[in-house]
Chains A and B, each alone.
Chain A
Amino acid sequence: MIGTLLATGLVVVGAGSILSFAPRSFRVGLVVQAVGVALVGLSGLAVFVSGDELGASFTNELEPRLGVDPTSGYFLFVLGIVAAPAVVFATRYLAPTTTGRVIGGLTGVFLLVLALVLCARDPLTFLAAWELMTLVPAAIILVGRHDREARSSVYVYIGLTHLMGAGTWIAVLLLADAGAFGGGSSLETGSSTQIAIAVAALVGMGTKAGLVPLHTWLPRAHPIAPAHVSALMSGVMIKMAIYGLVRVLVEWLGELPAWYGVVVLVVGGASAVIGVVYAIFQHELKRLLAFHSIENVGIIVLGLGACLLLHARGADEWAGVALAAALLHTLNHAVFKGLLFLGAGAFEKVAGSLEIDRLGGLLQRMPWTGGAFLVGAMAIAGLPPLNGFASEWLTLQSLLAVPANGGVAEGLAGALALAALAATAALAVLCFVKVVGLVLLGRPRRSRIEEAVEMPVPMRGAAAFLALACVVLGVVPGLLAGPLAGLAPWPTDDAAGVAVDVPWDDSLPSPGIFLVLLVGSGLLAAARGRRRAAPAPSWACGQVVGPELQWTSAGFTKPLRLVLEAVLRPTRDVTRSVRGGVLQEVRYEGHVPHLFDTHLNRPITRAGLWAASRARRVQSGSLTAYVAYLVALVIVLLAAVRTGAIG
């Protein structure tokens, strides 16, 4: 029954995708896609809740097989809850031009590929879907934009995800070789095969997830995609890497050594802090949101690291809680990041660009989209009673459980990760106060926004649906958190309740907090009563607050920039033009460079190009030379076999 529903959903998405290519059925096709992906999401949820396996189970053979189990089902639900509103949003967001139709059609292909990653049950299908998942959005970006900047960004995106993504191939093929694709054969803890697979998976899938320092493709590729595709990329695509990491590290590799858990914690903590710090200094809304994806993937990976570490220490019940924290944040991030990217797409429509200092006043003009965006911003900032708070609370709990379960070095790593996550949450508040202020509040900073009107119903409906999901998931996180702990391959406490419970007799009664906040602020607002006084202008020492007195993003983040100066190395450039001894103009330019680009990527790129120019010398173009190379290779191989080096 559920299997039929899932298959129907996938077929409907495919049909919708084909319909979207045709000019007359473009919008219908997108709606059909949305219905299909909603069916896929619901059947995924049903599989997750029922705990059954459908279709084939995992195999190490290289023959195509498809199936679903509760873990796949949960991620299909993540796909459905973001993709359905995103595609509905696209019905109005995309114009039915040739470009729009091709993007709309390819969106459906992208959805199918994402579902294929989750349903693949053999190494070959998994790897094929994995590669397509990288290539399809690249194609969508290039259909939408042809300029040099977009081409170069896509080049970096594909180059980096393929070079580093080789880790995924190595991990999956080694797993298949060891007979552990899908679990089954228990690898010995600390064996070289196990460690090789674990490291390769972290590099390969970590690149796809956008973990520091392999993240530099993410803030380039995500912002240039169409808004609904950005939502899918940030909300769902990078979560496929989390899916892969959960499968490999938690389910298939058996028990990993504790030091590996510490490595994962360090990578997660670094991604969280570095992602949010750079997000704060971005000037383009979608690029800023892309950096926040790095932050949130870091938070998810912190949960994963705590899970591995706690499992290694034998605290299995806690390890289940940590896994639930990671998976819950995966869903929550998908929901609020999808919402924020859709909001950004709507704002781009009315404002023309997303330069953050040139927006403003959008809440008054677009109350639905703006209000939903505000909810999303509060959710990503981890504020109660919304969903980001619930999963960050659970992550904090599981990080605190790391020192509580012993081991001096591991415990210290856990405590540092705890501090990093607390600081990350506060930095996210700083960043989203800035975003809300500059985008939604105050007066418009550009004349085009004066005439801005609310978006059509499908667009604002999609945003409002996701905002509602932020609230609901924040009020009853326990319904998911309990069963999520049950996805761990070891016995855990997977009881579902409304509140979230943790093993040391503490719980987050989120409905109570929601009620106190709602009723409390309602009563206080009522007690405050109506205003008798007339509105007054803002106080600026008697000056009129004109546009030139408005604050900018750079001004608001200056204290943090100064505090972190030694780390961030911001540049500033002041030029004065003086004519006839009289100062005419002072130009100030400040910039926070992305040090991973300048200090890591650029030297590597340069070295790569240098090596390529050397390698080019052997490429003479003459056929005899290539035959000679082949003969030489065969001789070397034969010699190696003869001496026993290989074979």
Chain B
Amino acid sequence: MSGASAAAAAVQLVGGLALAPLLPGLVQHWKARLQGRRGPSPLQPYRELARLWSRSSIDVEGTTLVYRLAPPVAAAALVAAVLLVPAAADAPELGVGHSLLALGGLLALARFTVCAAAWDTENGFALMGASRDLTISVFTEAALVLSLSVGALVAGTTDLTGVIAGTAGSDAWTSPGLALGAVGFALVVLAETGRQPIDNPDTHLELTMIHEGPVLEYGGRDLALLQWTASARHWVVLVLAAQVFVPHAKDVWLQLAILPLVLVVLCGALALVETLLAKMRILLAPRLLGIGAAAALLGVLSWLIETG
């Protein structure tokens, strides 16, 4: 293993497993600043994780193994996703491959377990969030696959390290394909990270919750696992955005060096979007994601016309 590839693996593991909570923390921090509040420090998610980890989980009366296993399984699915998404073009294979088409399955597994657990608790608010989350995910999944396939087509492979290498440099950006894919992926990022205008991560009103809804009944270490899962989801989609849909260098060391910077900028962009936009009507969210999917489809079309 070369030095660059070892460094890429280190960034991927340390960043995805340990530093992921920093990403939602940064968004919260800057969002507060943009709104003229002092707000919590970017390290707040760690404090919350520490507090939750010190408390016991609680069972809901009458629940089964499905409720108890949902947090570890969802977290394990995101661990696999973190191992799957490489931090740079030269990242080594960590046992789960680098297939971008497998990513959707891992995210769906996390969603399935948590939403099934909502049925187990019989909590109406949890189910409301679950049904909305699953409805929106239909459109997110289509947009995710389409926008990632633009990257795959440009690079000529679905292996993510190959995609990162194939979209590096300025050549990939001389045609509109990748840019249109980036539009689609930007909406996927908003949906997968549960940000406004699709979902409001700060809400304390059960009736308006989407991603927060299904986890309502969890507490203690269970909730800590689920909160880590949510921040790992930030890491996965933001790294993909940074290394595929943002112009990046061909050199692996440079890719790794710039990655933190791009991630910080993307968090800032999320904070800005959250500040500028209000949450939209839930039934309009599929339309927005549909526009994202259509943009990505246009990206595929422009690539086809260009190479055809």
Q: Which residues of A contact B (CB under 8 A)?
A: 363-364, 374, 378, 381-384, 389, 392-393, 396-397, 400, 403-404, 406-408, 411-412, 415-416, 418-423, 425-427, 429-430, 432-434, 436-438, 440-443, 499, 502, 504-509, 512-513, 515-518, 520-522, 524-525, 527-540, 545, 549-551, 555-560, 562-563
CB distance from A493 to the nearest CB of B (A): 16
**Cross-chain contact of B119 among A427, A438, A504 (Cβ < 8 A):** A438
Question: Quick check: is B272 within 8 A (CB to CB) of the other chain?
Answer: no
Minimum distance in angstroms from A41 CB to a CB of chain B: 29
- Would A539 and B217 count as touching, CB distance under 8 A? yes
Across the interface, name the chain B residue whose C-beta is closest to A518.
B76
Of chain B, the residue at the smallest CB distance from A442 is: B122
Are A537 and B60 closer than 8 Å at their CB atoms?
yes
A516 close to B80 (CB less than 8 A): yes
A383 to chain B: which residues have CB within 8 Å? Answer: 105, 108-109, 112
Write the chain A residue with the least CB distance to B157: A504
Q: Evaluate contact between A436 and B119: CB separation under 8 angstroms.
A: yes
Q: Is B307 an interface residue (CB 8 A)?
A: yes
Q: Does the CB pair B57–A531 fall under 8 Å?
A: yes
Interface residues of B in 62-98 (CB under 8 A from A): 62-66, 68-69, 71-73, 75-77, 79-80, 83, 93, 95-98
Are A384's CB and B122's CB within 8 A?
no
Counting chain B residues whose Cβ lies within 8 A of the other chain, the interface size class is 35 or more
Residues of B within 8 A of A (CB): 56-66, 68-69, 71-73, 75-77, 79-80, 83, 93, 95-99, 101-102, 104-106, 108-109, 111-112, 115-116, 118-125, 127, 130-132, 134-135, 137-142, 144-146, 149, 152-153, 156-159, 162, 216-217, 219-222, 225, 282-283, 286, 293, 297, 300-301, 303-305, 307-308
Report A-chain residues with C-beta under 8 Å of the C-beta of B157: 504-506
Given the complex, which residues of B lie within 8 Å of A539, measured CB to CB?
A: 123, 125, 216-217
19 additional A-B pairs beyond A384-B80, A392-B105, beta carbons within 8 Å, are A382-B105, A382-B108, A400-B158, A411-B308, A419-B142, A421-B145, A430-B137, A436-B66, A506-B159, A509-B93, A521-B73, A529-B221, A532-B56, A537-B60, A539-B217, A551-B127, A559-B132, A559-B135, A563-B135
Bound-complex Cα distance A443 to B56 (A): 25
Q: Within the complex, which residue of A374, A422, A533, A556 is in contact with B144, where a contact is CB–CB below 8 Å? A: A422
Cβ B134 vs Cβ A540 within 8 A: no
Residue of B nearest to A412 (CB): B301
In the assembled complex, which residues on chain A have CB atoms less than 8 Å from the CB atom of B158?
397, 400, 502, 504, 506
Report Cα–Cα, A432/B142, bound state, in Å.
18
Q: Are B111 and A429 in contact (CB under 8 A)?
A: yes
Check B76–A520 contact: CB distance below 8 A.
yes
Contact B135 A513 (CB under 8 A): no
Contact B119 A437 (CB under 8 A): yes
- C-alpha spacing A383/B114, complex, angstroms: 13
A-B residue pairs in contact (CB < 8 Å), sample of 22: A382-B105, A384-B102, A396-B101, A415-B297, A416-B297, A423-B141, A425-B105, A425-B141, A434-B119, A437-B120, A441-B64, A505-B159, A516-B76, A516-B79, A520-B72, A524-B76, A525-B68, A528-B221, A538-B122, A551-B124, A557-B131, A563-B135
In contact, A429 and B112 (Cβ under 8 angstroms): yes
Interface Cβ pair total, 8 Å cutoff: 281
Q: How far is the CA of A530 from the CA of B69 in the complex (A)?
A: 13
CB distance from A197 to the nearest CB of B (A): 30
Which of A363, A418, A440, A517 contacts B80 (CB under 8 A)? Answer: A517
Closest to B118 in A: A437
Q: Which residue of B lies closest to A537 (CB)?
A: B61
For A389, A520, A522, the residue with the greatest tally of chain B CB atoms inside 10 Å of its CB is A520
User: Please, how many angstroms separate the alpha-carbon atoms of A532 and B220 in the complex?
Assistant: 10
Alpha-carbon separation in the docked complex, A513 to B109 (Å): 12
Cα separation A385 to B8 with both chains bound (whole Å): 26
When chains A and B are docked, how far (Å) is the Cα of A407 from the Cα of B69?
47
Query: Which A residues touch B119, using CB under 8 A?
Result: 433-434, 436-438, 441-442, 551
**A427 to B72 Cα, complex, angstroms:** 24
Structural contact, A509 and B95, CB atoms closer than 8 A: yes
For A438, list chain B residues within 8 Å (CB): 119
**Chain A residue with the shortest CB-CB distance to B121:** A538
**Cα separation A364 to B219 with both chains bound (whole Å):** 23
Interface centre among A411, A422, A520 (most CB of B within 10 A): A422
- Measured between beta carbons, the chain B residues less than 8 angstroms from A419 are 142, 145-146, 293, 297
Contacts of A408 in B (CB 8 A): 301, 304-305, 308
User: Within the assembled complex, what's the spacing in Å between the Cα atoms of A406 and B131?
Assistant: 39
What's the least CB distance linking A605 to chain B, in Å?
33
Cα–Cα, bound, A13→B145 (Å): 46
